[in-house]
Amino acid sequence: MAVALGIATIFATPGIAQNLLPSWNDGAAKTAIVAFVGRVTAPGGPDFVPELERIAVFDNDGTLWAEQPIYFQIAFALERVKVLAPEHPEWQQKEPFKSVLAGDVKGVMAGGEHALLEIIAATHAGMTTDEFDKTARAWVATAKHPKTDRPYTDMAYQPMLELLAYFRANGFKTFIVSGGGIEFMRAFAENVYGIPPEQVIGSSGKTKFELRDGDPVLVKLPEINFVDDGAGKPVGIQMHIGRRPIAAFGNSDGDLQMLQWTCSRPGLTFCLYVHHTDAEREWAYDRRSSIGGLDKGLDEAAAKGWTVVNMKDDWKSIFKFEAR
């Protein structure tokens, strides 16, 4: 144990952090991260936290990878509508499917959350969980982002990948806590982020156990089980983890309650918002955005002294594929 704690302390030192966080510019955000890690991993220090309690939770869309121009799972679901359309001729005249097949994404989004849930239910339900996992993995392996023409997995933020590694090197267990579908994220989270499926928390549909040709399977149903967004995030954390995190990372008002829950914990805590401010290398949006809107959270971060990452100033590079 003493050796492990010694290693953690070494990794938390500024010099080592410089090597582990090379895509971060020196500044207030990086300094705050390194200081927090150093304090909670210092044996005998007043803020020391045992490894079992070093839980860090991360939103996915807009925090660990990009979320514009639409959430990537929505892009997956829209593609599934086109694939399944021959089996559903009624979709040609039925919204929101009619807009999907016409390529009218704005029309789809105009239908709001109800339309998106209807699309997800129609394209995800009826499959076994194994079939869904295979389908999602195949899409992630081949689909390209509409702006960059890069695989969606290339749209992960390099500074956040480094941050995940930095935290894990210091004895943290890292979890995804996202409004995205839990099974969709599990299809790529381990390969992209190094986060295993049991450490992914997300929204879910209901499933049921069946015997198909004598084989036991879990079948996805067209019903919502749990929405892991907003006030649902602390609930999901309690259900899946059973420990209150000491660090939380988000980018939108949908993450606000998760950050509030984390930073109201007794002892030293750390809450961070990723603020999208780089229209040239990524996107610039916050208060008025229909995707990843950051309004109340930005105000609360200022009031409570949470760390806010200015992507334009704090990150040397945003994606791994950028020229350095």
CB atoms within 10 A of CB 221: 15
- Please provide residue 313's backbone torsions phi and psi, each rounded to the nearest 5 degrees: -95, -30
3-class state of residue 99 by DSSP: helix
Please indicate, yes or no, whether residues 160 and 44 belong to a single structural domain of this protein: yes
pLDDT tens string 177-229:
999 999 999 999 999 999 999 999 999 999 999 999 999 999 999 888 999 99
- Structural domain tally of the chain? 2
Q: What is the CATH number of the domain that holds 42?
A: 3.40.50.1000
Please indicate, yes or no, whether residues 191 and 267 belong to a single structural domain of this protein: yes
* Domain assignment of residue 322, yes or no: no
Please indicate, yes or no, whether residues 76 and 203 belong to a single structural domain of this protein: no
- Highest mean pLDDT, choosing among 86-90, 122-126, 309-313, 319-323: 309-313
**Which of 142, 164, 188 represents a domain boundary (last residue)?**
142
Please indicate, yes or no, whether residues 113 and 27 belong to a single structural domain of this protein: no
Q: Reply yes or no on whether the pLDDT at 3 is more than 50.
A: no
**Which of 142, 161, 184 represents a domain boundary (last residue)?**
142
Q: What is the pLDDT of residue 7?
A: 40
Amino acid at 39: R
* Domain assignment of residue 7, yes or no: yes
Please indicate, yes or no, whether residues 138 and 191 belong to a single structural domain of this protein: no
- Highest mean pLDDT, choosing among 6-20, 41-55, 92-106: 41-55
Please indicate, yes or no, whether residues 188 and 222 belong to a single structural domain of this protein: yes
* Domain assignment of residue 319, yes or no: no
**Which of 112, 142, 172 represents a domain boundary (last residue)?**
142
* 4-13, 50-59, 189-198, 302-311, range with the lowest pLDDT: 4-13
Please indicate, yes or no, whether residues 63 and 82 belong to a single structural domain of this protein: no
The pTM of this model reads: 0.92
* Domain assignment of residue 320, yes or no: no
| Parallel, antiparallel or unpaired: strands 215-226 and 307-310 | unpaired
Say how many CA atoms lie within 13 Å of 89 toward its Cβ. 0
Edge-to-edge strand ranges of the sheet holding 270-275: 215-226, 200-212, 173-181, 55-58, 247-250, 270-275, 307-310
Amino acid at 131: E
Structure tokens at 294: 């950051």
* Domain assignment of residue 133, yes or no: yes
pLDDT tens string 90-137:
999 999 999 999 988 888 888 777 788 889 888 988 999 999 999 999
Please indicate, yes or no, whether residues 60 and 127 belong to a single structural domain of this protein: no
Which of 267, 277, 130, 141 lies closest to 212, judged by CA?
Answer: 130
3-class state of residue 111 by DSSP: coil
Please indicate, yes or no, whether residues 203 and 297 belong to a single structural domain of this protein: yes
Please indicate, yes or no, whether residues 161 and 173 belong to a single structural domain of this protein: yes
* Domain assignment of residue 234, yes or no: yes
Please indicate, yes or no, whether residues 54 and 191 belong to a single structural domain of this protein: yes
Domain of residue 277: give its range. Answer: 2-69+153-314
Rounded to an integer, what distance in angstroms lies between the CA atom of residue 117 and that of residue 237? 23
Structure tokens at 307: 């760390």
Please indicate, yes or no, whether residues 194 and 121 belong to a single structural domain of this protein: no
* Domain assignment of residue 147, yes or no: no
DSSP state of 69: S
* Domain assignment of residue 323, yes or no: no
